[in-house]
């Protein structure tokens, strides 16, 4: 039996990459945990109207102003990008482009 760890071949941008099965499984578990956390926060957002006192004036900051496309989207644009990337079917091995990268 070989001491070399088993690996899977993955092609990214036309280049072959080898990932140990153990590393691939670890990354899959971490992604599942991250996805679950992102979806928990989104669920909280969907069940509430916004953040009270965010601007230190006692007013409600509605989620639609804080999320992508809102007046102060910089607060949660990274969250929306992460949520979209985690949900995106990605059979090519490439990381999905985020909105902030598309507008850069």
Per-residue pLDDT, 71: 92
DSSP per-residue codes, 7-61: EEEEEETTEEEEEEHHHHHHHHHHHHHHHHHHHHHHHHHHTS-EEETTTSSS-EE
3-state secondary structure of 97: coil
Query: Is the predicted pLDDT of residue 28 greater than 60, yes or no?
Result: yes
Lookup: tokens for 30? 């971490």
Among 49, 73, 77, residue whose Cα is nearest residue 61: 49
pLDDT in tens, 33-45: 999 999 999 999 9
Using the structure block, give the residue that is written with the tokens 């088993």.
6
Per-residue pLDDT, 39: 95
Per-residue pLDDT, 92: 40
Asked which of 1-5, 56-60, 65-69, 89-93 is least confident by mean pLDDT, the reply is: 1-5
């Amino acid at each position: 039996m070989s001491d070399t760890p088993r690996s899977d071949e993955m092609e990214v941008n036309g280049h072959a990459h080898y990932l140990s099965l153990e590393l691939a499984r670890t990354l899959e578990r971490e992604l599942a945990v991250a996805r679950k956390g992102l979806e928990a926060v989104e669920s909280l957002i969907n069940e509430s109207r916004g953040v009270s006192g965010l601007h230190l004036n006692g007013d409600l900051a509605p989620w639609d102003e804080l999320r992508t496309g809102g007046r102060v989207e910089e607060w949660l644009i990274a969250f929306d990008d992460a949520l979209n990337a985690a949900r995106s079917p990605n059979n090519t091995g490439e990381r999905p482009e985020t909105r902030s990268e598309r507008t850069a």
